[in-house]
């Protein structure tokens, strides 16, 4: 009897409304990321070795089959592999070509968003993708996370140097490619609530300034930090009795950066990587209504959605949340 090879599925597939566009989001299963960010548990879900390109193509086929009846209605396609989708070792050129060929069925496609680290961005790669896609806008999504160099390089272990990142932003501007940058809200294990808010605001201001300098379109993807199980940072959170960020602080960051006129999308899902004790829901003053308003803001960017809520700034000692204890 002929042995049947194992069939892999994406780590995640789903749909959302991203800044008003119907978005198909796929995170492909691939060889794990070679970088060891201290807060990320996703590499534990990845394959230890390179995957044959045919197994990546199987995932692409399976993904498009799941939404076969809706493909023509999607306006954005966001793809990653929990590392870098344009890393040729983990997602070969043949797989990219195949993916974008299948995406031709998305007749309403306006935005193609590729999640990657900055190291893999090059003029040749961007030109190649421009040639392969029929999307109007090419976007790259990068986890820069914070403008604080010590926090980014030492605490988060991102290995993204500011000089390298700015050079890539310049290149994106020259080539007409949009940047979406992840920004973490309160990533430091010793941060107070107000310190976390201030750092997120400074990061958004920095990104807006650099992108304006180089003529690069910018989207902010704001992520309230959650405690991912089994990560080095989770241990630091426990050691310092870290209190997760409040949902109200998300709105405060959006309010404080409103005048920059940079669209902000907030991630509100812990990706099934926390046991429910390590995110904004642990606070006694957690308001699901605010979360729902943020979800609607993600679709519309209508700040009036937050008007019903009295978002009073509180001293850190007043926050009703237990510290993280592992």
| pLDDT score, position 319 | 46
* Reported confidence tier of residue 143, pLDDT bands at 50, 70, 90: very high
Of 218, 210, 239, residue with least CA distance to 227:
239
**122 CB-near residues (< 8 Å, 6+ apart):** none
What is residue 1's predicted lDDT score, i.e. its pLDDT?
36
pLDDT above 90 coverage of the chain, percent = 69
Distance separating alpha carbons of residues 74 and 24, to the nearest angstrom: 7
The average confidence (pLDDT) of the chain is 88
pTM: 0.90
For residues 243 and 206, is the Cβ–Cβ distance under 8 A? no
More confident residue, 157 or 292: 292
Domain 141-326 has CATH 3.30.950.10: no
Sign of the dihedral through C-alpha 131, 212, 142, 272: negative
> What are the tens digits of pLDDT across the range 215-254?
999 999 999 988 777 777 777 777 788 888 999 999 999 9
Cα separation, 59 vs 27, in Å, equals: 10
Delimit the domains of the chain by residue range. 1-135, 141-326
Give the pLDDT band (50/70/90) at residue 274: low
Q: At residue 50, does pLDDT exceed 80?
A: no
108: number of Cβ within 10 Å: 12
């Amino acid at each position: 009897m002929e042995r049947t090879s194992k069939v892999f599925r994406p780590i995640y597939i789903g749909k959302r409304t991203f800044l008003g566009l119907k978005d198909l989001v796929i995170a492909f299963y691939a060889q794990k990321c070679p970088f060891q960010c201290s807060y990320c548990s996703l590499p534990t879900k990845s394959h230890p070795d390179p995957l044959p390109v045919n197994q990546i193509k199987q995932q692409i086929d399976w993904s498009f089959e799941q939404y076969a009846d809706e493909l023509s209605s999607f306006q954005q396609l966001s793809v990653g592999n929990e590392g870098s989708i344009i890393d040729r070792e983990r997602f070969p050129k043949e797989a990219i070509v195949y993916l974008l060929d299948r995406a031709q069925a998305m007749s309403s496609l306006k935005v193609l968003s590729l999640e990657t680290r900055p190291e893999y961005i090059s003029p040749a790669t961007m030109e190649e993708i421009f040639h392969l896609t029929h999307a109007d806008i090419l976007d790259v999504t990068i986890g820069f996370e914070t403008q604080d160099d010590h926090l980014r390089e030492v605490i988060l272990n991102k290995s993204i140097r500011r000089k390298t990142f700015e050079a890539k932003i310049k290149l994106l501007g020259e080539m007409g490619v949009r940047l979406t940058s992840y920004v973490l809200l309160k990533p430091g294990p010793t941060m107070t609530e107000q310190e976390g808010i201030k750092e997120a605001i400074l990061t958004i201001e920095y990104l807006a300034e650099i992108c304006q300098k180089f003529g690069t379109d910018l989207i902010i993807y704001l992520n309230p930090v959650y405690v991912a199980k089994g990560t080095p940072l989770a241990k630091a959170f426990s050691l310092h009795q870290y209190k997760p960020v409040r949902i109200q602080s998300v709105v405060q960051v959006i309010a404080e950066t409103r005048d920059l006129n940079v669209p902000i999308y907030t991630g509100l899902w812990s990706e099934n990587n926390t046991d429910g004790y390590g995110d904004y829901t642990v606070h006694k003053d957690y308001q699901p209504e605010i979360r729902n308003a943020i979800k609607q803001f993600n679709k519309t960017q209508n700040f009036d959605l937050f008007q019903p809520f009295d978002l009073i700034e509180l001293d850190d000692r007043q926050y009703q949340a237990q510290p993280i204890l592992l």
